[in-house]
Amino acid sequence: MSPAVHAQFRLRLPAWRSRLLLIGLLAWLAVLAGRALYLQGLHYDFLQRKGESRYSRAIEISATRGMIVDRNNQPLAISTPVESVAASPADIEITPEQTLKLAQLLGMDSGDVKRRLADSKREFVYLNRQLPPEQAEKVVGLGIPGVFLQREYRRYYPAGEVTAHIIGFTGVDDNGQEALELAFDDVLAGKPGGRRVIKDRLGQIIEDVESIQQPQNGATLTLAIDTKLQYLTHRELKKAVAEHRARAGGIVVLDVVTGEVLALANLPSYNPNNRGQFDPKRTRNRVVTDLFEPGSTLKPFTAAAALEAGAVTPESVIQTAPGQLTIGKRTIHDAHPQGALTVAQVIQKSSNIGAAKIALTLPPETMWSLFHRVGFGTPPRSEFPGEVSGKLRAHASWRPIEQATMSYGHGISVSLLQLARAYSIFATDGELKPVTLIKREAPVGGTAVISPGTAQAVRRMLEMAVQPGGTAPRAQIAGYRVAGKTGTARKIEGKGYALNRYISSFVGFAPVSSPRLIVAVMIDEPGAGQYYGGAVAAPVFSRVAAEALRLLAVPPDAPVNNVVLPPPHLPEIKEEV
């Protein structure tokens, strides 16, 4: 092509077009550079979050729940690690065949598994909790992306039903549900931590990035319970309930010096390690949460009120003949007419008429005041959830017949723990100790309720009650002096009292010379023929207290041949209210 032709072409292609193209390219490069600068420098956090959402997870680290131990550091509740199967629906990749296999391994319906995995916006969902290790391994072996194991803790109770009513149990999330597990949940639970990890497409952790917060494990809770004493207490109660074909039973052992609960048992019981449905009737701690009319076990408090007021002395004579006393339209009876009795003999032989006549020598306020000061009508403040205050009506509403029947334990309701604690005023020199289920490092002071002289006088009466001529000779213990009182109360039925349903009870302490233990026993509706407190509940006291005193190395205060039972041919001294 000639130079003339080239010249023509140069004239037809203006120079500004090439410059415009160059400027456009440079502008586009500048936009790309600006965008890159914005995304990688100014908007870095957004991209980082988007990237991390594909592989980075913040997972919770469970805190280990604190142990519960007895006073000798024997474990009563411990947490063991278990595996739970979880999934990330956002990452799940699963075939229908895998869904069916997964459901079979987990013991679930395949439709339920599908529903849990359906919400792809969720990053975490449990499929099944607290599986055995071999079952969890089979789930992992399926290799399903987005399905993984989550470490948790499961509560284990070494003593099972023996301590169930004291310890309680936890739920699937390891939160306290009953008894002390519930009452001290904040102390035991601790605080969970967290960490950031990188997971692969199978949901498995391949790198630990950082710790967000360290978990704080729960504290250890040390109880006043002595495991050896708890086992023997439960054993003897179980034997008595079976022997007398009773509906239920309860027993509590208190340390006179410290006010600590050394043992507490109820029947029927349950196994807290079995996480099936719990029967509320079996999980109820009857010793603390159930009320009953104490019957004749209340008579010593009536005598104490009268002694404190100066209305009687232990030698004052009360005429109980002819075995019945009419007040208004009501008549009070004695199971066995006795004639003239001293105040001490009224307690020894458990005369309803004698107790009623003693009560009626007092203003209602005087009697009510003592009942109130020993804790009737107020919670015992043991820190156990659901403890009851009982029923003690205001003295202004008492009629003479009500004051009379209240003297022998009708018209008032208490818990067994309240009753055992109240007896501490006779085991000490009139001092009421605060009661606790938690171990104390040193004895605590109490509240003076009655004078030492009154306490010692009633103590002598209670010792007479367990000797021949009293209602509870079967409560005696070889080598130890014992004091206590029986109760045989008819159960409330409708607006009156049942004819053949009873609560048999006994509360006592030993050794009398220097009391160390208070043991209260209650047998609900014995059905094997015997129902008097001296025949049903007193022998349980004797067996438990005898072994407990030897277990605690309490020195004997009587000869080993001190037990004297009445001759078989003599009629048993009975009581019934």
Q: Annotated catalytic sites, by residue?
A: 296
Residue 435's nearest CA partner among 384, 389, 385, 381 is 381
248, 270 Cβ separation under 8 angstroms = no
Burial of 49 (0-12, 13-18, 19+ CB in 10 A): exposed
For residue 504, give every residue at least 6 positions away whose Cβ sits within 8 Å of its Cβ, in sequence order, or none.
244, 486, 487, 488, 522, 523, 526, 531, 532, 533, 535, 536, 537
* 356 token code pair: 């009623």
For residue 332, the tally of other CB atoms under 10 A from its CB is: 22
What's the CA gap between 413 and 439, in Å, rounded? Answer: 28
525, 247 Cβ separation under 8 angstroms = yes
Residue 165's nearest CA partner among 115, 207, 225 is 225
323, 303 Cβ separation under 8 angstroms = no
Burial of 163 (0-12, 13-18, 19+ CB in 10 A): buried
Residue 327's nearest CA partner among 383, 384, 408, 256 is 408
Residue 163's nearest CA partner among 68, 67, 245, 291 is 68
DSSP string, 368-382: HHHHHHTTTTS----
What's the CA gap between 431 and 30, in Å, rounded? Answer: 92
* 241 token code pair: 């309930």
Q: Among all chains, which residue has been given the structure tokens 């704080």?
A: 216
DSSP string, 191-254: B-EEEEEEE-TTS-EEEEEEEEE--BPPPPEEBS--HHHHHHHHHHHHHHHHHTT-SEEEEEEE
What's the CA gap between 126 and 136, in Å, rounded? Answer: 13
Burial of 285 (0-12, 13-18, 19+ CB in 10 A): buried
- Give the relative orientation of helices 96-106 and 110-117 as an angle to the nearest 10 degrees: 110
294, 521 Cβ separation under 8 angstroms = no
Give the CA angle between residues 335, 338, 342 to the nearest 5°.
120
Half-sphere exposure of 129 toward its Cβ, with a 13 Å CA cutoff? 10
